[in-house]
Structure 1
C-alpha cells in the first residue's frame, strides 16, 4: 500500500531560497507547457491533421529542446513531472463526472499555496535530501523534518509546498500494512450537519472552538474585501494586505488541522472496533447547490469522511457498505418499516403538517416516537 504522511520542513536560509526557486520554476513550466499545448492543438485543427495533436511527451520534448541556460541550474525532474501532471489534467478534462472538472488554467504567483514535485528525494538520517542539479556551487544541505522517527518505507514521488511562509512535504511511502483482527461487529454512520451519529454515540465535527476561528476568518475576509474595494489592484502589494492574508491562511490551516484530527481518530476507531460499516452514498455536490445549509454541509466534510473511511477499510480488510442515495433511511420507521411520503416527510425544518421538529420521528403507523438520527442509524444498520 501507498501511505502518505504530511510533515513540516525546517530548511535553512540557503535551502529556503532553493525551494522558492523550484516553486517558481514549476509554475513557469506549467504555464509555458499549457501555452505550448494550446498552440499545438490549434495547429492540429488548422492543418486538419490528428497526428499533430499534443501529448505530454511532445510538450516535454519541446520544452526540453528550448531550455535556457538558467534552467540547467534547477532540477530537470521538476519540468518532467510538471508536464506529466499537465497531461493528467487534460485527461481529467474529458471526464465530466470528476468533482473538479474543467480545463487546466494558468498558475499565478498570488496563489496562497506554491509547490513542486520530485522523485529524487531521499530520507537520510531523519532528514530530507533533494537532488543537487549540475552547476550549483553553493553548499548543499539536508532539510530537517518534524516527526522523523515515524518515517518508514520506500519513498515515492514527494510533493513539497509552501503555505503561510511555512514549508511542508507530502511523503508517500510504499509499506506493508497488516490486516486488523476481526471483531464480528457491525455499525452504521448517519452523517449530519455538525455531527456524525453511529451505534455507540455521537461525534461532533464542528466543536465550539471552531466557532471563534470562523468568526475571525469572516473578520479577515471583510478586511481584505474593503482593502480591494478601496485600493483596487494596488491592495495586493501593500504590507497590511499581505499580513492580513497570512492571518487568514493561518486560521484556515488551524480549522483544517482540527477537523482532520477529528475525522482521522473517528475513522480509525471504526476500523478498529467493527468489521462491517454502513454509510450513505450522498450526492454532496448536488446538496450544496440547493443553498439550504450549504455552508454547514461544506464545513461538515462529508466527502472527506467517506474518503478516509474508504481507504482505511481497504487497508485493514474491513467491509464498507454504501447505502443507495435513494434509500429512505430518514423517512423509514426502524420499528415497523413504514415509509413516510408526500406531506408526511421530515425535512430540515421538521414537518409543517404535524408541527414536529426536525430531530423528531413519529411513526403514524405504529405510533413509535424516536430521535430522527437514531432511527436513521438503525435503518442503515439493517443493510449490514
Structure 2
C-alpha cells in the first residue's frame, strides 16, 4: 500500500490562556455561533416541513438580514467569519443527513453543546508565531508545546473551551513532513480486550490501565458534591461542575496519550495490521460491560491506527465480526462448539494449549492475510448495514 499524496492536512492543538477581554470576546462569539446555527436550523426545518430545501447561500442571505434587525443586532459585534463557518457546518450536516450518513441535525444547547468557533484565513493573522484573531487587538498567549512544521501556515484556526474551562486553539496546516515509512514484511494480528487492552499475534500483551476505574472514587465524590448543590446558575454549582469536568478531562487525556503512543509504535514496527470489525456501539448496550468497554476506547484506537497507517503507507485489514477467532485452533483449524468468556486458556484435541487472546490474534492475522490474497472484500465499513465480509466463508477450518 502506498501513499500518493505528498502533503497531508494535519491539526496541531495547543492550550492558550486568554486575557479577560479575549475570554469575554470569545464567549460572545461562541454564543453568536450557537444562535446563528439554531436560527438557520429552524429556518431549514420549517422549509423542510413545506417540502422546500434551503441551501447555504439562502441561510447566508438570512444572516445578513438578521444582522439588520434590532433584536439580533448584537451579531455585528463579533467576527462574521465564525458565523459563516457555522452555516457551512450546518450545510455539511444536512448533506450527511440526505446521504443517510447521519441523523437529522439537532439544535445546540447553551449548557451541553461544544463551545467552539472556526476562523478561516480572513479571520486571523499569523505572523512569526503570533496568532491574532479578528476583533482582537492582542495575540493569543499560546503554549507552544511542539513546533509547527517548518514553513507551515495555518489555513483554519478553531478556538474552543472544554467543560473544565480550559482554552484550546487548533491550527490546521499542510504537513509535508509526513512521508511513507520504509516498507517491511512484518504483519500483526490485534485482538482487543478488557483484561488486556491489546493482544498481538506475536504473543505480546498490553495491559489495560483502566483510567476511568482508577479515578472512579474521586469522580464519585465530585459527582456527589455536585448533586448536593442547588440547581441553577449559582457559583457553587458551577465550581462543582468544573471539578467533575476536570476529572473527566484528566481521564480522557491519559487515555488518548496512551493510545497515541501505542498506535505510533505499532505503525513504525509493522506493515500490515489485522483487526476485528467490532460494533462497539452495539456492544455497550450490555450494561454489565458498557463502562469497561467505553473506558478501553476501542473505536478511538481503530481510528488512530487507520489514519496513521494511511499517513505512513501501512495497511489495515478489518476481519468480519462474525469470524470465530477465539474458538478456532490456530494450529490445526479445529472449531470449538462453545467458548464462554471465563475460559482464558483451552486445549485443542490436537494437543495444543492456547491462550484465548493470543490464539484469537493469530487467527485474525491468518484470516486477514488469506482474504487479502484472495482479493475479497476484507474492509467492511462501519456504516454498512450488517453485511458479512468474505472472511467467514474464505477462512479454512475443519469441524471437530
Q: TM-score range by the shorter chain?
A: 0.7 to 0.9
Which residue is equivalent to 2:387?
A: none
CA deviation digits over 1:228-250, x for unaligned, max 9? Answer: xxx5xxx1322222111101110
Change (3 A) 1:266 1:23: same
Aligned-partner SS, 1:375: helix
Which residue is equivalent to 1:192?
A: 193
Which residue is equivalent to 1:81?
A: 85
CA deviation digits over 1:184-242, x for unaligned, max 9? Answer: 211111100251111252222334x6433122223323333454xxx5xxx13222221
Aligned-partner SS, 2:67: coil
Q: Equivalent of 1:378, from 362, 375, 379? A: 362
CA deviation digits over 1:89-121, x for unaligned, max 9? Answer: 22223455x5xx432222222227411111133
Q: How does 1:1-384 map to 2 (within 5 A)?
A: 1-42=8-49, 44-45=50-51, 52-68=52-68, 69-96=73-100, 98=101, 101-111=102-112, 113-120=114-121, 121-132=124-135, 140-147=137-144, 150-152=147-149, 153-163=152-162, 164-176=164-176, 177-194=178-195, 195-198=197-200, 199=202, 201-207=204-210, 210-227=212-229, 231=230, 235-341=231-337, 345-348=338-341, 350=342, 358-363=343-348, 365-382=349-366, 383-384=368-369
Structure that is richer in helix per residue: 1
Which has the higher mean CA deviation after the structures are superposed, 62-71 or 312-321?
Answer: 62-71
In 1, the alpha carbon distance for the partners of 2:98 and 2:290 equals: 28
Quote how far apart the aligned CAs of 1:255 are: 0.6
Given that 2:284 and 2:290 are in contact with CA atoms closer than 8 Å, whether structure 1 keeps it comes out as yes
Aligned-partner SS, 1:78: helix
With normalisation by structure 1, the TM-score equals 0.85
Q: Note the residue ranges of structure 1 that are not aligned, 5 or more in a row.
A: 46-51, 133-138, 351-357
With normalisation by structure 2, the TM-score equals 0.82
Quote how far apart the aligned CAs of 1:149 are: 5.1
CA deviation digits over 1:14-53, x for unaligned, max 9? Answer: 21221111111111111111122222223x34xxxxxx42
CA deviation digits over 1:288-325, x for unaligned, max 9? Answer: 22334111111111110010000000000011111111
Quote how far apart the aligned CAs of 1:362 are: 2.6
In 1, the alpha carbon distance for the partners of 2:275 and 2:103 equals: 29
